[in-house]
Copies of this chain bind each other. A is one copy, B any other.
Amino acid sequence: MNPEHVKPTEAELEILQILWARGACTVREVNEQLNLKRETGYTTTLKMMQIMTEKGLLTRDESQRTHVYRAAVQERDMQKRLLDKFLDSVFKGSAASLVMQALGNSQTSAEELREIRKLIDEMEKGGAK
């Protein structure tokens, strides 16, 4: 299945996060990471990862008895896809409004603020209308 338009469920997203952070993993590694947050049976994790592989969200190397899994989608791409959806469904598509709230809520470091400002400078120069 083409993963480009598959929306991961919440449980699937947690697994993707682990794989993005750690690279290739076995089911056992992923399961252990999941268990840091909450109790999850081994076969539950296994089944999830098998389903995700069918959906095209993961790939796996079966050359060894213990299969090794990888995310089949880039973190950035998935973030963009989910952000678009979130923006639509929660902020009616208004990025500015989302950005204002995100900045307002969180304590963002001065360093990060500078970077964001730089991006805005470039966008204004580049020519938003």
A: which residues have CB within 8 A of B? 10, 13-14, 17, 76, 78-80, 82-84, 86-87, 89-92, 95-96, 98-110, 112-113, 115-117, 119-120, 123-124, 128-129
The answer to whether A83 touches B105, judged by C-beta atoms less than 8 angstroms apart, is yes
The answer to whether B101 touches A120, judged by C-beta atoms less than 8 angstroms apart, is no
Q: Least Cβ distance of A36 to chain B in Å?
A: 14
Beyond A89-B10, A117-B120, A120-B117, is A95–B103 a contact (Cβ under 8 Å)?
Answer: yes
- How far apart are the CA atoms of A98 and B129 in the complex, in Å? 23
- How far apart are the CA atoms of A95 and B129 in the complex, in Å? 25
- How far apart are the CA atoms of A102 and B84 in the complex, in Å? 8
On chain B, the residues within 8 Å of A17 by CB distance are: 89, 92
CB nearest neighbor in B for A121: B117
Beyond A79-B91, A90-B13, A91-B79, is A104–B119 a contact (Cβ under 8 Å)?
Answer: yes
- How far apart are the CA atoms of A27 and B86 in the complex, in Å? 25
Residue with the greatest number of chain B CB neighbours at <10 A, chosen from A78, A116, A124: A116
Beyond A113-B120, A116-B120, is A90–B96 a contact (Cβ under 8 Å)?
Answer: no
